[in-house]
Structure formats: C-alpha cells, structure tokens
Structure 1
Amino acid sequence: MSRLPLLLLALSILLMNSAVQAEKADQDKPIVLEAEKVSVNDVQQIYDLNGQVLLIKGSIVITGESGHIQVDPEGYEFVDVKGSADSTASFRQRKEGIPDEYMQGRGTQLSYNAKTEMLTITGDASLRRSLNMQMLDQLQGWKIEYDDITERYRVTPPADAKPEDLPLARAILSPRRKATLEK
C-alpha cells in the first residue's frame, strides 16, 4: 500500500534526465488544422474542432476527436485535444538535432503548451522516445507530464485514487550512455 507513492517518487527521480529537446524550428511554422467541423474566433484567437481532428505544426502532429486551441498575444498555442470512446488522442514530435528521433504519446486527453513546451497526457497514458523507430524510453500510467525545456518526465495517479485501485506506473529506460553513442 505504501509501495505505490515510493515507486512513483523513484520513477520521477529516475526520469529527470533526458538528452534531447523539441525541434525549435516548429515554433515558426504555421498551424494546419483539419476536422469535420471547425469554429474560428479570429479576434480572440480561439479555434474549436470536432470530428477527426488533425493538427500539424512543423514536426508536431496531434490527432483526436475534439480539440480546443487558443493562441496568446505572443503567438504561443495552447492545445487541448480529446479522444473518443473508440480512439485515443495522440501527439508526435521530432526532436532537435538528431534525425529520426521522436517523442510520441497517446491517451484519453492531451494538452500541449507551446510557450512552456509542456505536454500532459491523461487517461491510460503512454509516452515513448524512439530513435530510428527503435524504442529508447517508454512510460505508462494514468497521467504523464513531459517538460521539454527541463527534459523531465513525471507519471502520477489521479488525485482522488485509492492505492488499491491504481495501476502501477511503468517505465522502460535505455541507458543514457548507449543511447548517446547510438546517435
């Protein structure tokens, strides 16, 4: 029963060091939006999408069933996408400097803050880092947060969860030395 909080703490500490960052060129790319229905408020820079949502910005690709995007006065996007009962929301982004290295995530809902470069995936969440289609790191849990600026992962349970109801957070991590040498 007390094992779960210790496991989550240990997992958070182990995952604090990653060797890559998001592709900085993505910041200057236009957003391409596709959906069955799109509502645009150009004055307030708010976009609502419903049905087969696809958002592309540079190497970032986000999919889901419904989405909400808000752009702040500085031009940073705040994206919130939800999956449906039949499909999950997904995120994929190429990493800076190394060809064919990607971060990919799936879950019931995902949020991406382009200003802070924070990705949050909730509901049966998974996130993986791959190089040349080979998995380097993989995380699973109820909620995964990935901070690309500080290069940290964090896997947490729901706030109101009982320890006996929780699935354990799980991580598979490649040795950093090996992953660095393969790049």
Structure 2
Amino acid sequence: MIALSVMVAHPAHAEKADQDKPVILEAEKVSVNDVKQVYDLNGQVLLIKGSIIVTGEDGRITVDPQGYEFVDVIGTPNAVASFRQRREGPADEFMQGRGEQVTYDAKTEFLTLTGDATLKRLLNMQMLDQLKGWKIEYDDVKQHYQVTPPKDAKPEALPLARAILSPRRKATLEK
C-alpha cells in the first residue's frame, strides 16, 4: 500500500475560540438524546461552531463529558460532505475539505475525509496546499497530513494520492 505522509511546518493551528462557541445544527430532521449527548441529523445537514462549518446529508454528533464534539457526517453522490475551519493567525487562513464522509474530533483536532477526498489550505482565499486521495487524515495539533489510497488499490492505478504543497518561508520554518 502506498501512502503519502507530510509534516507541515507552519505555526497556525485551529481557531482556539471555536472551543467555546455554541453548536448550531440545521437539518430536515434532528433527533436529540440529552442523556447520552448524541444528536442524529438527517437531510441537508449544516453544523456551525464558531469558524467550523460541516455540511452533508446525514450525520451524528456525540459530545463527551468534557464538552468536546465528535462529528461524523456523510454525503450523497450528488452532494458530498464538507468541512471548513478558520485557523489561528494574523491572516485569513482556512482548512477546507470534502469527501463522501467527514469525521472531526474536536478534542484531538483530528480531521478525516474519506472517499474521493480533497483538502486545501487557503490563505486569503488563495490555495497554498492541496491534497487528493481516497482517505485524507489531518492532525492539526501535530501539523501532519496523510493521504492513503483504498486498501484494494492496484499499483498500476497510480497516482492514488497527490499533494501540491507551497514552499514555506524561512521565517516560518525557524521557530
């Protein structure tokens, strides 16, 4: 199996103010279990928490005892699931991704996009980094991307993972 793994050296992290924002949920149907802290969403899902925006067709949000959300949203063939989050820092920098399924763990700041997935890092609406593959994992704490092809991928079908990474300024790399 071939996997692309990239460590990224830039100082921005997920927007910390997002942690204290309320969760806004919209869907055609919302089922709430306050005891278990589980929210099931069906039909045109929209989740907003601070700068985080997640969309899809169906989803589930689980809240742990510390108040951190685990989000799992799936799309449809006509409308994929998507994720967008502003990053900490002086400029308008965003992480934006899409795929058949989006999972995000707010506690660990770990994003997984599965199924014909793409992930972009944007600065002032200009693309800096772009990843494509069957599965993309992004660890915001460690600043690490990993792109993985499907388990049944054949070597002759290469490239199964692709990354376009912008050069980092020397000042960004030295900390």
After TM superposition, the score normalised by the length of structure 1 is 0.88
What's the CA shift for 1:162?
Answer: 3.1
Q: Are 1:170 and 2:162 counterparts?
A: yes
Equivalent runs, 1:115-154 vs 2, <5 Å: 115-154=107-146
Equivalent runs, 1:1-183 vs 2, <5 Å: 5=2, 8=3, 11-12=4-5, 15-19=6-10, 20-165=12-157, 167-177=159-169, 180=172
SS at match of 2:7: coil
What's the CA shift for 1:167?
Answer: 4.7
Mapped partners of 1:55, 1:178: distance in 2: 37
SS at match of 2:97: strand
Superposed CA offset, 1:112-139 (max 9, x none): 0011100000000000001011100000
Residue 128 of structure 2 aligns to which amino acid in structure 1?
L
Mapped partners of 1:28, 1:95: distance in 2: 15
What's the CA shift for 1:35?
Answer: 0.2
Mapped partners of 1:178, 1:33: distance in 2: 41
What's the CA shift for 1:100?
Answer: 1.2
Superposed CA offset, 1:130-160 (max 9, x none): 1011100000000000000000000001223
What's the CA shift for 1:166?
Answer: 5.7
Unaligned runs of 5+ in 2: none
What's the CA shift for 1:165?
Answer: 4.6
The percent of aligned pairs where both chains have the same amino acid is 73
CA RMSD of aligned residues (A): 1.8
Q: Is the 8 Å Cα contact of residues 118 and 132 (structure 2) preserved in structure 1?
A: yes
SS at match of 1:164: helix
Unaligned runs of 5+ in 1: none
Q: CA distance change for structure 1 residues 44 and 137 in 2, over 3 Å: closer, same or farther? A: same
What's the CA shift for 1:179?
Answer: 9.5
Mapped partners of 1:91, 1:98: distance in 2: 21
What's the CA shift for 1:168?
Answer: 2.0
Question: Which structure carries more helix by proportion?
Answer: 1
Mapped partners of 2:155, 2:58: distance in 1: 31
How many residue pairs were aligned? 172
SS at match of 2:76: coil
Q: Is the 8 Å Cα contact of residues 137 and 173 (structure 1) preserved in structure 2?
A: yes
Q: Is the 8 Å Cα contact of residues 136 and 179 (structure 1) preserved in structure 2?
A: no
Q: Is the 8 Å Cα contact of residues 9 and 172 (structure 2) preserved in structure 1?
A: no
